[in-house]
Amino acid sequence: MSDFTNGFWSWYIGAISLVSILGCGWLLWVAGKAKVTVQAGQVADNTTGHVWDENLQEYNNPLPRWWMWLFILTIVFSLAYLVIFPGLGSFSGSLKWSTEGEHKQDLTSMRAQVAPLYAEFAVQPAEALAKDPRAMAIGERLFMNNCSQCHGSDGRGSKSYPNLTNANSAWLGERGAAHIVQTMTQGRTGVMPAMGAAIGGDAEISQLANYVLSLSASPHNEIKAFSGKKLFSACAACHGMDGKGNKALGAPNLTDDYWLHGWGEAAIANIVKNGKNNVMPAQASNLTAEQIHVVSAYVLSLSRSGLPGEPARPAAPASPPKPP
């Protein structure tokens, strides 16, 4: 791709633009100077000599002056445009205008208009905002525009994208507005290292995968699971000896029957062998701190978990268990 981003292409595009505009002016000049050639013995009748349908002749009349001046004005306008606005390769124009700059101005103006409303929300805790219909209407729109592409419009996610409507046990981090704000602001990178070399061959990995399935009482091979229990010690540093995970590390709970990256022996064996990286992009460049505060309250409201007087919704598996 570096061949298409070096300085040559900027000059190439600029040259084509200028040659095209100047070529139009040259064409107008040549057409205005063209004369009809009169052969010996012919009468100069101001025709080109072309005849159609027996008597339809083409005359060499000059262009109307209004049309010619309009053509010249378009050429002058084009040259002036390329001086003022970007159009000649990487040249940014004398006004330094750009769509990115205009977007930033519009965004700044919009944020200034809604600042009083967000200031009202900023002084309220997320738990209170989660019960405010106005705040939740705004939070839902912000969620749809910035989060639903991965987590779904209902927040239930999909394979490799967390379900935000689950109860506490299914969350990789500590449940609460502070953790949501931190995750949205700074982003999050989940890393499961490849453990294939540490575990052994495919047979050992299969045994470990069946033991992991047994932790959540999912269908599994009991003989393989018994052999895989001793292999789980390589995983206990993150997931704990009981397999209930570690929220501080973001290590998933393997006993809750919630399968973020797919269910079954094959899916687990693949992650154990090859590892897995998941990235939640930081939203600080897209949303203000006040907007992130409102969205965090909306995310809390999706499961009602952790809100005063609200029971937690039961966890819904990302990938429903399937029979072996």
Q: pLDDT digits over 306-316, tens only?
A: 454 454 444 44
- Residue 172 confidence (pLDDT): 80
* Residue 122 maps to a domain: yes
- Residue 305 confidence (pLDDT): 52
Q: Are residues 1 and 80 in the same domain?
A: yes
Q: Which residues of the chain have pLDDT under 50?
A: 1, 306, 308-309, 311-324
- Residue 167 confidence (pLDDT): 62
Which single residue is written with the structure tokens 């001046």? 69
Q: Quote the number of domains for the chain.
A: 3
Q: Are residues 270 and 288 in the same domain?
A: no
Which pair of structure tokens corresponds to residue 20?
A: 């095209």
- Residue 169 confidence (pLDDT): 56
Q: Are residues 71 and 200 in the same domain?
A: no
Span 78-121, pLDDT tens digits: 999 999 998 888 888 899 998 888 988 998 898 888 888 899 99
Q: Are residues 141 and 80 in the same domain?
A: no
Q: Are residues 273 and 286 in the same domain?
A: no
- Residue 26 confidence (pLDDT): 93
Q: Are residues 179 and 289 in the same domain?
A: yes
Give the C-alpha separation, 182 to 103, whole Å. 26
* Residue 318 maps to a domain: no
Q: Are residues 66 and 208 in the same domain?
A: no
Give the C-alpha separation, 125 to 265, whole Å. 43
- Residue 306 confidence (pLDDT): 46
Q: Are residues 125 and 73 in the same domain?
A: no
Q: Are residues 70 and 203 in the same domain?
A: no
155 three-class SS:
coil
* Residue 232 maps to a domain: yes
Which pair of structure tokens corresponds to residue 246?
A: 């570690």
Q: pTM to 2 decimals? A: 0.66
Give the C-alpha separation, 272 to 197, whole Å. 10
Which neighbouring-strand residues pair with 276?
192
69 phi/psi in degrees, rounded to 5 = -65, -35
Q: Are residues 61 and 124 in the same domain?
A: no
* Residue 45 maps to a domain: no
* Residue 44 maps to a domain: no
What's the CA dihedral at 280, 286, 292, 295 to 10 degrees?
Answer: -80
* Residue 255 maps to a domain: yes
| C-alpha closest to that of 212 among 165, 159, 251, 158 | 251
* Residue 37 maps to a domain: no
200 three-class SS:
coil
- Give residue 84's domain range: 1-29+51-103
DSSP state, residue 242: T
Q: Are residues 14 and 99 in the same domain?
A: yes
Q: In angstroms, what is the C-alpha Rg of the chain?
A: 34
* Residue 9 maps to a domain: yes
Q: Are residues 216 and 286 in the same domain?
A: no
Boundary of a domain, candidates 83, 103, 123: 103
246 three-class SS:
strand
Q: How many helices (H) and strands (E) does the chain have?
A: 13, 4
Report yes or no: 255 and 242 within 8 Å, Cβ to Cβ: yes
- Residue 60 confidence (pLDDT): 77
CATH number of the domain enclosing 271: 1.10.760.10
